[in-house]
Amino acid sequence: MTAAASRNSVDSEAHRALRLEPLYRIRFTYPESWMVGLEGGWEQHLYLAEGRCEGTISGRFRGANFPRRRGASGPFRPDFRAVIATDDAATIMFECHGYGRAYPPGRRQIVGAVLHLSDAEQYRRLNDVVCVCVGEVRAPADPEQQEPDLVLDVAELVWEPIAD
């Protein structure tokens, strides 16, 4: 077996060892925001988020993102804290860190890690779960809308024994 074939076999086994379970989708906007310029072309932003989650967890989503960005059209590093007020009257704290890519225009990509905290019995299991997200910062479909539309899909990274 060649080194490349061996590497592909290992890569293929590693992909089978990781499992994701979809949890919910968040759709939100930033109705208010602020920005200050920093040295070297960097920017510090603060965005207030409002939206909704749908899926295994459904409810109102509100929070704040404090990302640092490399210039007006560069990549950004989300630092998101939020709350999900669920439709079944529970509270779930939400934390997300990751990377926002500056491309493609009109649908910039987001990847990240998400953590949750809740004291509600039905969501307490999420307190020691690591989740991942993928998303997009979308140009608004409505030309009158000032802020972008953001969409995040959140999935649980499921622990499974590592095959020898």
- Read off the DSSP letter of residue 67: -
DSSP labels, 33-59: EEEEE-GGGEEEEEEEEEEEEEESS-E
Does the structure show a pLDDT above 80 at 11? no
User: What CA–CA distance (Å, rounded) separates 33 from 69?
Assistant: 14
**In the beta sheet, which residues pair with residue 32?**
48
Does the structure show a pLDDT above 80 at 2? no
152 closest CA partner among 89, 92, 91, 78: 78
Q: What is the mean pLDDT of residues 65-92?
A: 94
DSSP labels, 69-100: EESTTS-EE-EEEEEEEETTS-EEEEEEEEEE
Looking at residue 71, its pLDDT comes to: 84
Looking at residue 157, its pLDDT comes to: 97
Residue 13's pLDDT band (cuts 50, 70, 90): low
Q: What is the mean pLDDT of residues 33-60?
A: 96
> For 106-151, what is each residue's pLDDT tens digit?
899 999 999 999 999 999 999 999 999 999 999 887 888 777 899 9
Are 59 and 84 a contacting pair, CB within 8 Å? yes
User: What CA–CA distance (Å, rounded) separates 144 from 70?
Assistant: 27
Does the structure show a pLDDT above 60 at 33? yes
Residue 162's pLDDT band (cuts 50, 70, 90): confident
Show the CA angle centred on residue 92, arms to residues 129 and 95, nearest 5°.
60
Task: Look up the pTM and report it.
Answer: 0.86
Q: Which architecture characterizes domain 26-158 according to CATH?
A: Beta Barrel (2.40)
Does the structure show a pLDDT above 80 at 93? yes
85 closest CA partner among 98, 97, 94, 76: 94
Q: What is the mean pLDDT of residues 38-50?
A: 94
User: What CA–CA distance (Å, rounded) separates 126 from 64?
Assistant: 21
